[in-house]
Amino acid sequence: MASKTVLYITVVSDSGPPAKALAERIVRSYDQPKSAATAIAAYLERLVGGSGSAIVHVALAGPDTGTQGTGTIACTQANALAGDRVTLQNTHFYVTTAPSTNPALGQFSRGANNTECGANLAAAMNAHPALKGAWTAVNAGGTVTVTAVTKGVHANLVNLETTKPTAFALTQVTNGAKGTLFNELRSYRLGQ
């Protein structure tokens, strides 16, 4: 497989709306990638035009020698009840008796045993549009291992949560590590 080259852009804004508003206006929802990319480009154009001020850091990254963050969810099917929830990266997954075919709802069946419960949870995670391209989930005997697709420490900051620890025993995401990543870094001051 060919190695990937990645362009990272970080904007440190001196003015304008707070981060929450920027997230809502610019980054948008996971299911609107085209409009999000267009909004990001328009934001950068406004900065270039002098509407606001920021420092823009651009890093060109080659193949990453770091490691991907991983966490686990050990399923105990007998304790899982309808309505119990597991959360990864602010994306919720609910036990239900009749899961919807809409993957964005994050519903899964508890199954007949731990292995089925884990398989159903992993399938729901892999199908959810918010996690596609960011996380993968693999079941082994009722223990689901979630793995960040990209390498680096960022995955270690993501919390796994559950409303039912006796049904879903969690091991938080760890082991994400930065490797040799940045080949070149440039910074630009834009705006006022």
Give the whole-angstrom CA distance, residue 121 versus residue 108: 6
* Residues with Cβ within 8 Å of residue 176, at least 6 apart in sequence: 66, 67, 68, 69, 70, 148, 151, 152, 153, 154, 155, 156
- Where do the structural domains in the chain lie, given as residue ranges? 6-64+183-191, 68-174
- Confidence at residue 1, expressed as pLDDT on a 0 to 100 scale: 37
Give the whole-angstrom CA distance, residue 168 versus residue 73: 6
- Confidence at residue 125, expressed as pLDDT on a 0 to 100 scale: 98
* List of the chain residues with pLDDT < 50: 1-2
Q: CA torsion, points 132, 138, 143, 144, in degrees to nearest 10?
A: -10
- The pTM score is 0.67
Half-sphere exposure of 142 (CA within 13 A, CB side): 17
- Confidence at residue 70, expressed as pLDDT on a 0 to 100 scale: 97
Residue labelled with tokens 């929830």: 85
- Confidence at residue 31, expressed as pLDDT on a 0 to 100 scale: 66
- Confidence at residue 110, expressed as pLDDT on a 0 to 100 scale: 97
- Confidence at residue 59, expressed as pLDDT on a 0 to 100 scale: 72
- Confidence at residue 62, expressed as pLDDT on a 0 to 100 scale: 62
Maximum C-alpha span of the chain: 62
Name the 3-class secondary structure at 27: helix
pLDDT in tens, 118-161: 999 999 999 999 999 899 999 999 999 999 998 888 889 999 99
- Confidence at residue 112, expressed as pLDDT on a 0 to 100 scale: 97
What DSSP designation does 112 have?
Answer: S
